[in-house]
Amino acid sequence: MQSFIKKYSIFLMLYIVFQPVLDAVTGLMTQAHMNVSFGVLIRMAVMAVTVFYLLIFLILNRDNKHGFMMIGYFVLLAIVSAISLFINYKTKVLFITSLEVTTLAKSLYYPVMLLAYLYAFEELAEDRIINRFFPKVIFFAVNIISIIMIVAHFTNSSFSSYSYYKLGESGWFFAANELSAIVSITFPIMIWYALKKINTWSRIYYWITIIVAIYADLLIGTKGSLLALLFSICMGILATIVQFFMYKDGRKYFVGIFAMLAITLGGIVVAYPAMAVSKTSELHTEMIKDKKQKAKTKKGITKDQKKYVQTNKTVSYLFSGRTVYFENAAHNFSKATPAQKIFGMGYATSFKHERDAKLVEMDYVDIFFQFGLIGTIVYMVPLLYCLIYLIGAFLRKFKYMWSYKWAMLVASVALGFGMALMTGHVIEAPSVSIYFVSVLAYAMLNAKIFLRTNEDPYTIDVES
């Protein structure tokens, strides 16, 4: 059994690097109008085996109170989820069993995989195996995404990020928002890996992969990916400045890194007018003017379109109409039964036809409407625990948090939580949450060791 634990822990690490392949195959199948989602089937199968892995881990560590707390948590989550399904089956005007069950299964992916990575990283840290796989697998995964994006771009086989604008590209990945969230969360880790590898200027080729990744990310044309690139590079610059003043040795190296980061940031700023995200901003303004003009004519506009154009221009642009979906969902929730308000309304609150089912696409909001007051508290406990723990570690060890490892981990975790609000498709999307929970678990491992030993775990870092 111990051998299985070790091998499966390594598998979980390597599993990350195969995510882009799963997503690309799924995107191509969806584009070909094939009903079977290859990625979903594989991920659900892995989640099922991972549940078995967690049970074995508990059996081997039965004296560990944390193991029993984990089982208690999942039992409680299962009860809450079952109650929610039953209530909505009896209450909703239209209850599509396959849709509700599939959505719930995707939602449960994050807590299962987060706990699995927490245990896997603890297991692998003992033999320093973790150094050989993480963050290398993240680095490789992002490079695979970049290659797919660029190949799709130059072969004119890329999907449009915004079909109504015909702008932006998502390569062979079907969901641009999910792709945007993935590159946003992983980009800081990629910077960390590259900067630690460039210990001599003969290895500058690692930064070429960063430039390629930036080019691929900007092809997407989403606001989230652009903001994530800028935030990650700025965090890298800040970390470089702090280290320059903290360490007298190697100041020439930090000056060189600063120049490289600053030039990269400047290049993005200069290139902005030619980017798809710049054009979508312009088209957004034109679309608002067009709808306002139509509102004055006999053609008129729909009720949702009217709400959209009346929303603050900046808010409507940043959230791309999500505020309208929020108003509609909130209206449905206000008319829900007390049981639904406590345990949730399931997928997309209430709808009479499947085509009318709309998510808000802001994770925290969708989670609240899906699971209700009690269900949301139970569902979010692992994330809230990690967030509070990491904030505490950050504040207690603030002056040590400016190495590239810590600065980029902070950036990645912050972007994960931020993108969950701004673009959604992070916590409840298995294709994205796998990156988020693995980074979160890695940050938790480092923070726990740091606080327990009062020494920064330098042995857990990028290997030279």
For residue range 99-131, list pLDDT tens digits in order: 999 999 999 999 999 999 999 998 898 778 888
Contacts 24+ apart (CB under 8 A), 265-268: 265/230, 265/233, 265/234, 265/237, 268/214, 268/218, 268/226, 268/229, 268/230, 268/233
Rounded CA-CA distance 367/348 in Å is 10
Rounded CA-CA distance 217/209 in Å is 12
**If you write DSSP's letter for every residue of 1-29 in order, what string do you get?**
-HHHHHHHHHHHHHHGGGHHHHHHHHHHH
Rounded CA-CA distance 345/271 in Å is 45
Give whole-number Cα distances, 277 to 224, 290, 318, 321, 425, in Å. 10, 20, 12, 16, 19
End-to-end CA distance of the chain: 33
Per-residue pLDDT at 306 = 54
- pLDDT over 60 (residue 321): yes
- pLDDT over 80 (residue 464): no
At residue 36 the predicted structure's pLDDT band, cuts being 50, 70 and 90, is low
What percentage of the chain exceeds 70 in pLDDT?
Answer: 88
Alpha helices for 335-429 (secondary structure H): 338-343, 363-396, 404-422
Domain boundaries, the chain: 2-277+374-453, 279-373
At residue 336 the predicted structure's pLDDT band, cuts being 50, 70 and 90, is very high
Q: What is the pLDDT of residues 445-456, one digit of tens each?
A: 999 999 999 999
**If you write DSSP's letter for every residue of 425-458 in order, what string do you get?**
-SSS-HHHHHHHHHHHHHHHHHHHHHHHHSS--T
Rounded CA-CA distance 271/322 in Å is 28
3-state SS, residue 167:
strand
C-beta neighbour count of 94 within 10 angstroms = 12
Lowest average pLDDT, out of 136-145, 268-277, 292-301, 339-348, goes to 292-301
Give whole-number Cα distances, 152 to 32, 159, 219, 272, 297, in Å. 16, 8, 11, 22, 42
Per-residue pLDDT at 289 = 57
Q: Which residues contact 62 (CB under 8 A, 6 or more apart)?
A: none
Q: Which tokens in the block code for residue 167?
A: 């702008």
Rounded CA-CA distance 322/421 in Å is 10
Give whole-number Cα distances, 352 to 88, 148, 302, 332, 424, in Å. 14, 39, 18, 12, 24
To the nearest whole number, what is the mean pLDDT of the chain?
87
Rounded CA-CA distance 406/400 in Å is 8
Per-residue pLDDT at 288 = 55
**If you write DSSP's letter for every residue of 92-140 in order, what string do you get?**
-SS--HHHHHHHHHHHHHHHHHHHHHHHHHHHHHTTTHHHHHTTHHHHH
Q: Which tokens in the block code for residue 375?
A: 């269900």
**SS percent in the chain: helix, strand, coil, step 5:** 75, 0, 20
Lowest average pLDDT, out of 72-81, 203-212, 324-333, 365-374, goes to 324-333
Q: Which tokens in the block code for residue 11?
A: 């598998």
Residues constituting the chain = 464
Rounded CA-CA distance 302/290 in Å is 13
Estimate the crossing angle of helix 176-197 against helix 404-422, to 10 degrees.
Answer: 170
What value does the mean pLDDT take over residues 48-53? 94
Element (H, E) at 162: strand 160-162
Rounded CA-CA distance 195/213 in Å is 15
- pLDDT over 90 (residue 67): no
The single-letter code of the amino acid at 436 is F
Q: What is the pLDDT of residues 233-276, one digit of tens each?
A: 999 999 999 999 998 888 889 999 999 999 999 999 998 888 87
At residue 62 the predicted structure's pLDDT band, cuts being 50, 70 and 90, is low
Quick check: 370 and 342 in contact, CB under 8 A? no
Q: Which residue would you say has higher pLDDT here, 361 or 67?
A: 361
Q: What is the pLDDT of residues 154-176, one digit of tens each?
A: 999 888 876 655 677 889 998 88
Q: Which residue would you say has higher pLDDT here, 193 or 294?
A: 193
Q: Which tokens in the block code for residue 382?
A: 């692992």
- pLDDT over 80 (residue 284): no
Per-residue pLDDT at 174 = 82
Quick check: 72 and 393 in contact, CB under 8 A? no
